[in-house]
Amino acid sequence: MKSDVCMIVEGSYPYVVGGVSTWVHDLITSLKEISFSVVYIGVTRKHDENPKYILPKNVIDYREIHLLDPVKYYGPSLKQKKKAWAELELFLNELSENNWARFETVLNLLRPDRSSSLTPHDIL
């Protein structure tokens, strides 16, 4: 479902009473004709156990992102991309000397249509 507004809240609503959480809750409840999605960004699941606010009916989507939770990766093994990593490392080393000779090679390493390509997930 598509909402009218997406609110990204960090470390507050719906787990903390007062301050930003009160403002967010009051805004959502006073705008009943507007639909909201809320994305909560927190530290860990253990830290955020019991919500202090009940989400109003006009919150049609709620998601949580916990920064210290392990990330599940379902792509090819990073070991299978050893050559790509070596090329990227060479490029970065040469780039520090203002040598851009491997730039096109690195661009090809980032192409999504190859199983040996590096993804943003790999790099991050």
DSSP 8-28: EEES-TTTS-STHHHHHHHHH
pTM of the model: 0.57
Contact 115, 83 (CB under 8 A): no
Q: For residue range 86-109, list pLDDT tens digits in order.
A: 888 999 999 889 999 989 988 888
Residue holding tokens 């790509």? 84
Q: Tell me, what's the pLDDT at 44?
A: 80
Q: For residue range 41-89, list pLDDT tens digits in order.
A: 988 877 657 899 999 999 999 999 888 877 666 666 666 788 888 888 9
* H/E segment holding residue 41: strand 36-42
Residue 110 scores a pLDDT above 90: no
Query: What strands, in cross-sheet order, belong to the sheet with 59-66?
Result: 5-10, 36-42, 59-66
For the chain, the structural domain boundaries read 5-66, 78-123
Mean pLDDT across 38-43: 92
